């Protein structure tokens, strides 16, 4: 992945936004559940195709997807026009978010990086400096289950008016994967608990909360994995659990108790 590329191949690079996603724990899962793993990846590809079709129908954008081992690479072309760039990048963020949530529902957390740079991504081939940079950020800087965003892309996402990225306490900005969950939790106060408690959004929130709690519990005997998973559990508690109707008996409880020793 880090080898030099011949000069004639470098001429084929495009300016693209790229997101590199690592499906955490997926390699070990494949070794034990090969057929189920195929189903997970098949679902990811279906979600990507749905995103791609929707984006193409709306304004002719394009998305490329490659999957290998426990990694997903998704990219879209950048351009010289700021508004078009913003639109394309938001499409990419939306698609990345959809894939990460689908993987969460399947029991997997994700970690990665979103960058802009030179990349060849077509006809099943993906290579270039942008891929190397995204891989480096994922392995060296992301640390926790989150998709961190390099500054050139982050500035555009912030300017879009949609809360795609939020800052982490340890420095980097990352894709707000739970953005829709947060909005639903806040909306529960307007909708009313009687109606919201029987809605599909609430069932979805509760199911994901239980999945995260189980992922955390299953990693208790691995200190490194537990600390990573606990970060995501706290992220869920901060942006979803605390914004819901806490006074209602049926609302979800925090995954991590506030007084838990860390």
pLDDT digits (tens, 9 = 90+) for 177-192: 999 999 999 999 999 9
pLDDT at 86 over 80: yes
pLDDT digits (tens, 9 = 90+) for 91-122: 899 999 999 999 999 999 999 999 999 999 98
What is residue 50's predicted lDDT score, i.e. its pLDDT? 72
* Residues near 37 by beta carbon (within 8 Å), at least 6 away in sequence: 26, 29, 30
Look at residue 158 and give its three-state secondary structure.
helix
What is residue 123's predicted lDDT score, i.e. its pLDDT? 83
- Would you place residue 261 in the very low, low, confident or very high pLDDT band (cuts 50, 70, 90)? very low
What is residue 7's predicted lDDT score, i.e. its pLDDT? 55
Angle in degrees, CA 102, 108, 53, rounded to 5? 25
The Cα 163–Cα 157 span in angstroms is 8
Cβ 141 vs Cβ 84: under 8 Å: no
Range ranked top by mean pLDDT from 43-57, 72-86, 223-237: 223-237
- Would you place residue 27 in the very low, low, confident or very high pLDDT band (cuts 50, 70, 90)? confident
Determine the distance from the C-alpha atom of residue 159 to the mean position of all C-alpha atoms in its chain, rounded to a whole number: 20
The Cα 116–Cα 127 span in angstroms is 13
* Residues near 133 by beta carbon (within 8 Å), at least 6 away in sequence: 113, 115, 117, 150
Cβ 199 vs Cβ 219: under 8 Å: no
Cβ 73 vs Cβ 131: under 8 Å: yes
Give the number of other Cβ atoms within 10 Å of residue 177's Cβ: 26
| DSSP letter, residue 241 | G
- Max distance between CA atoms of the chain, in angstroms, equals 65
pLDDT digits (tens, 9 = 90+) for 189-230: 999 999 999 999 999 999 999 999 999 999 999 999 999 999
pTM of the shown model: 0.88
Nearest to 93 by CA among 61, 122, 124: 61
């Amino acid at each position: 992945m880090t080898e030099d590329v011949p000069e004639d191949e470098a001429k084929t690079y495009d300016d693209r936004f790229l997101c590199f996603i690592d499906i955490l724990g997926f390699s070990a899962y494949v070794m034990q559940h090969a057929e189920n793993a195929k189903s997970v990846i098949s679902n990811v590809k279906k979600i990507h195709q749905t995103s791609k079709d929707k984006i193409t129908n709306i304004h002719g954008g394009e998305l490329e997807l490659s999957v290998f081992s426990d990694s997903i690479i998704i990219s879209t072309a950048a351009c010289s026009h700021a508004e078009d760039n913003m639109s394309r990048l938001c499409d990419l963020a939306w698609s990345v978010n959809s894939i990460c949530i689908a993987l969460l529902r399947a029991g997997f957390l994700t970690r990665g990086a979103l960058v802009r740079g030179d990349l060849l991504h077509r006809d099943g081939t993906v290579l270039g400096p942008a891929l190397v940079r995204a891989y480096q950020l994922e392995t060296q800087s992301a640390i926790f289950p989150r998709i961190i965003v390099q500054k050139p892309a982050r500035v555009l996402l912030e300017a879009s008016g949609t809360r795609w990225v939020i800052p982490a306490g340890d420095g980097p900005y990352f894709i707000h994967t739970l953005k829709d969950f947060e909005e639903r939790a806040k909306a529960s106060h307007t909708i009313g608990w009687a109606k919201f408690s029987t809605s599909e959004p609430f069932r979805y929130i509760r199911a994901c909360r239980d999945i995260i709690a189980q992922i955390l519990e299953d990693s208790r005997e691995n200190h490194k994995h537990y600390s990573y998973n606990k970060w995501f559990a706290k992220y869920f508690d901060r942006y979803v659990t605390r914004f819901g109707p806490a006074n209602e008996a049926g609302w979800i409880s925090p995954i991590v108790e506030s007084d838990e020793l860390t």
